[in-house]
Amino acid sequence: MSFDSGGGFDHHGDVDWAWSDFFGGDLGQNRRLRGLEESRAAHRADTARLRAELSKATGSLEERLAKLSAAFDAFVELSQLGPRLELFDREAEARRLARSLFAGVDRLDEVVDVPGYWLPQALLAVRALRTGGDVATPLALAVERDAASTAVFHVLTAGVFGFGESVPAGMLGEALPEFTDPLPTSVRAVWVLAADGYYGAAGRKLAEQRGATHLARRPPEEVAAAVTTWRQALKPDHEAEYKLPQGIADGPRLRTIADACTRIALLRAHVRQALAPRPDQRDELDPLVKSTLERVVETGAPREQELLGRVRELRATVGGGSPDELPEHAGDPAALLRADGVDEARPGRRALALRASSRDVLATAEQLAADAATELPEEVSVRPGVGTMVVRGGRVAEQSVERAAARGVPEVDGTRRVVGAALAGVALVALVLALVAGWGWAVPAVLAAGGAAVQLTRHAKAGRERVAALEQGRARAAREAEQAERIAAAALADLRGRQERAARDLAELRHLLGA
């Protein structure tokens, strides 16, 4: 509130002050409320983030505590199993001697028989094998105790130590039976040793027979899938890959034929190289053999197998992992044979796998040869210059030549002719009027006639220019047609040569694989 100059109250000033104070306080309060709300929202976000991080930390801590607790429990249980394990010290000693043998330390003179356990007698058979002693007696006793384990152990150790050819044929056949799907790891281990030459010619023959017999028993849909896999595996490199000759506009059919020719050539080269004569030597020992031997040995005696299995589980828990055991099965026999057939690091096994897979390889070759022998197209699109020409039967079609000749030559605009004709009509009408109504119409008649003459002259000139341009275009098109015919002829001749080579490749593959 304020006073005016006359000593009275200034009511307007009082009212203005009251309203501005009211609204100003309300707006300030709203701003403060908004600030508090934003602060609360930020606080809630920080709280949620801290809770999430705390939850992660708590979960991670709980997991670690659970693992530590499980490892401690496993350690305690292992300690409790110690007295029980001591009951099988002689069995454990036999396994230690076997591990020493695998490591290259021969302590087989320390082997002591354990009643009912096959491993000591199997070790004595290996000792006799290496020293030239009586193998049959300890081997027969080991077979009596566990025929399957003894067969795998003796066959593998005999092969590893260079006595593979002395393995009885019956025992080798027992350790390398007919394939089943999936293939047991132990059978795979014996097969790779046989394929790599550790059992001589007889072992290689048995390995090839087992693979071929299994592949021959597959249903047609599996054979078709195998052929597709072989085709996809034949990938030409950049240099061998077919490229359309320069000037060929579009050739999917040409590519299909050429691709089949290229792939059958790759297959023939691969098989020829794999089956080329080579010194009769063994491939490097496959790590799978040692792993399989260790697994057979670590199985233990029948009465301790459950205990040993539990010990392995507990040791894995203490170590923070899972039992490191060899898989029971190696995989699909057909897939394994295909992988062996392209394994350049093991040439002996590769050659044997290819012979065992000869049906699949030949089926692939015959399918490729059929694709390669596809009839060449009657029409080939060629781009010798700017446009495209169709070559049919070795000759460029007339329509293509005409289109090429007219390319870039504009049509004659008919407007001038129409205008010229119209003006000529006007000149004629004006001339008639000049004769009838007076010579005043002579001027329009002359002007119209002149305009008609100009338009018609220009139209005729444009026509002559188009005819000349077409003549030049035909000459150019004739040259392009000759070039197109040469390009098409060269491309088709190249493909015919490839088709002939594909037929020879198929014949050679049949010869190489004994078909």
pLDDT score of 401: 60
Name the pLDDT band for 452 (thresholds 50, 70, 90): confident
Model pLDDT, residue 310: 75
Q: Of the spans 227-241, 297-311, 429-443, which averages the highest pLDDT?
A: 227-241
Q: Which residue has the higher pLDDT, 86 or 19?
A: 86
Check residue 360 and give its pLDDT: 95
ω into residue 302 within 30 of 0, thus cis? Answer: no
Which amino acid does the sequence have at 267?
Answer: L
- Overall residue count recorded for the chain in this entry: 515
Of 297, 315, 288, 284, the residue nearest 149 (C-alpha): 297
Close Cβ partners of 215 (under 8 Å, ≥ 6 residues apart): 226, 334, 337, 356, 357, 359, 360
Rounded average pLDDT over 160-182: 93
For the ranges 79-93, 111-125, 496-510, the lowest mean pLDDT is seen at 79-93
Q: Report percent pLDDT > 90 for the chain.
A: 44
- Looking at per-residue confidence, does 418 or 40 come out higher? 418
At 293-324, the pLDDT tens digits run 999 998 888 888 777 677 767 776 777 655 55
Q: Is the pLDDT of residue 403 over 70?
A: no
Lowest mean per-residue pLDDT among 193-202, 348-357, 467-476, 494-503: 467-476
Task: Give yes or no for residue 477 having a pLDDT over 90.
Answer: no
**Does the structure show a pLDDT above 50 at 365?**
yes
State the Cα–Cα distance between residues 349 and 352, nearest whole angstrom.
5
pTM for the predicted model, two decimal places: 0.68
More confident: 402 or 486: 486
What is the chain's mean pLDDT, rounded? 81
Mean pLDDT on 27-53: 60
What is the Cα–Cα distance from 155 to 172, expressed in whole angstroms? 6
Whether the per-residue pLDDT at 368 is higher than 70: the answer is: yes
pLDDT digits (tens, 9 = 90+) for 481-497: 778 788 888 888 899 99
Q: How confident is the model at residue 7, as a pLDDT?
A: 40
Domain ranges (residues) in the chain:
81-239+287-328, 379-513
User: Measured over all CA atoms, what is the biggest interatomic distance in the chain, rounded to whole angstroms?
Assistant: 150
508 vs 316, residue with greater confidence: 508
| Mean pLDDT on 98-127 | 93
Structure-token pair, residue 36: 């508090």
Q: Average of pLDDT values for 183-198?
A: 95
C-alpha to C-alpha distance for 34 and 48, rounded to whole angstroms:
21
The answer to whether the CB of 155 falls within 8 A of the CB of 175 is yes
